[in-house]
Amino acid sequence: MQLYIGNKNYSSWSMRAWLPMKHAGIEFSERPLRLDWADGSPFKSTLLALAPTGRVPLLIDDDRFAVWDSLAIVEYLAEAFPAKRLWPADRKQRARARSLCAEMHSGFAALRNRCPMNVEASLPEVGARCRSDWPDVAADLRRIDAMWTEALAQSGGPFLFGDFAAVDAFFAPVCSRIRTYALPLGAVAAGYVDRVHALPAMQAWCQAARQENDFLEEDEPYRQRA
């Protein structure tokens, strides 16, 4: 298997596919590409030669079989490696976990747009604006806080449905944003952020992100190149 990903510092969707594979010990070859959405760029041309979307993450199996979109990739892996338990074993809990993933997949636009993932940055002054200038971000954070707190109370933790699963990988980029922008959460949700960051796979991703030293201006709305 090959997994095509973008810059680890910026590519939240890449993290959502990479993290469960790494954590579960699924063997794959990593194919990193520098994010560049311009037509004809090496990023676009490489991906379009493999799949019609021209986006990451992109999983290639059996040499040429392409699976795109992070949620589709996770479902494909869950069927290919059932022993890895990428979803909860209980049918209703599995459905709930998928519901949370789908909510992340299609929602929280304010948080994602105003606070893009930037692993190596520290921007608490930007995060402070969600309390005063950005009520839409504050609303997203309230929903995330309530969602995590409820799931952890029902499962007993340490992750949303007990053991680490695909749903936790989908919220890992949110955990990264919480730290980058010092966003406010209750104690239960904040503890969850700490546990996600303590995972060896998450630490490996973040360390690699900090070592990229690749400043992409279009992904840096709050900073200028030094």
Is 222 domain-assigned?
A: no
pTM of the model: 0.95
Is 215 domain-assigned?
A: no
Specify whether 115 is located in the same domain as 190: yes
Specify whether 30 is located in the same domain as 69: yes
pLDDT at residue 166 above 80? yes
Specify whether 157 is located in the same domain as 183: yes
Task: Provide mean pLDDT across the span 177-196.
Answer: 97
pLDDT at residue 202 above 80? yes
Task: Provide mean pLDDT across the span 146-155.
Answer: 98
Is 214 domain-assigned?
A: no
Specify whether 174 is located in the same domain as 80: no
Is the separation of the CB atoms in 197 and 206 below 8 Å? yes
pLDDT in tens, 79-119: 999 999 999 999 999 999 999 999 999 999 999 999 999 99
Strand 58-61 vs strand 2-5: parallel, antiparallel, or unpaired? Answer: antiparallel
Is 79 domain-assigned?
A: yes
Among candidate residues 25, 51, 84, the one where a domain is terminated: 84
Specify whether 125 is located in the same domain as 70: no
Among candidate residues 84, 104, 121, the one where a domain is terminated: 84
Give percent above pLDDT 70 in the chain.
Answer: 100
Using pLDDT thresholds of 50, 70 and 90, give the confidence band for residue 63.
confident
Task: Provide mean pLDDT across the span 73-78.
Answer: 98
CATH code of the domain covering residue 45:
3.40.30.10
pLDDT at residue 224 above 90? no
Specify whether 137 is located in the same domain as 39: no
Name the phi and psi angles at 176, rounded to 5: -65, -45
Specify whether 151 is located in the same domain as 73: no
Omega within 30 of 0 (cis) for the link into 57: yes
Specify whether 99 is located in the same domain as 177: yes
Is 64 domain-assigned?
A: yes
Specify whether 113 is located in the same domain as 58: no
Please state which of the ranges 37-46, 83-92, 128-137 shows the lowest mean pLDDT: 128-137
Is 8 domain-assigned?
A: yes
Is the separation of the CB atoms in 34 and 42 below 8 Å? yes
- List the domain range (segments joined by +) for residue 61: 2-84
pLDDT at 136: 95
Count of structural domains within the chain: 2
Among candidate residues 84, 117, 139, the one where a domain is terminated: 84
Specify whether 76 is located in the same domain as 97: no
Is 32 domain-assigned?
A: yes
Specify whether 36 is located in the same domain as 139: no
pLDDT at 226: 62
User: Shortest CA distance to 43 belongs to which of 6, 96, 84, 10?
Assistant: 6
Specify whether 68 is located in the same domain as 121: no
Using pLDDT thresholds of 50, 70 and 90, give the confidence band for residue 225.
confident
30: helix, strand or coil = strand
d(CA 178, CA 185): 8
Is 203 domain-assigned?
A: yes
Q: What angle do CA 107, 113, 115 make, to 5 degrees?
A: 110
User: Token pair for residue 42?
Assistant: 């090496």
CATH code of the domain covering residue 197:
1.20.1050.10
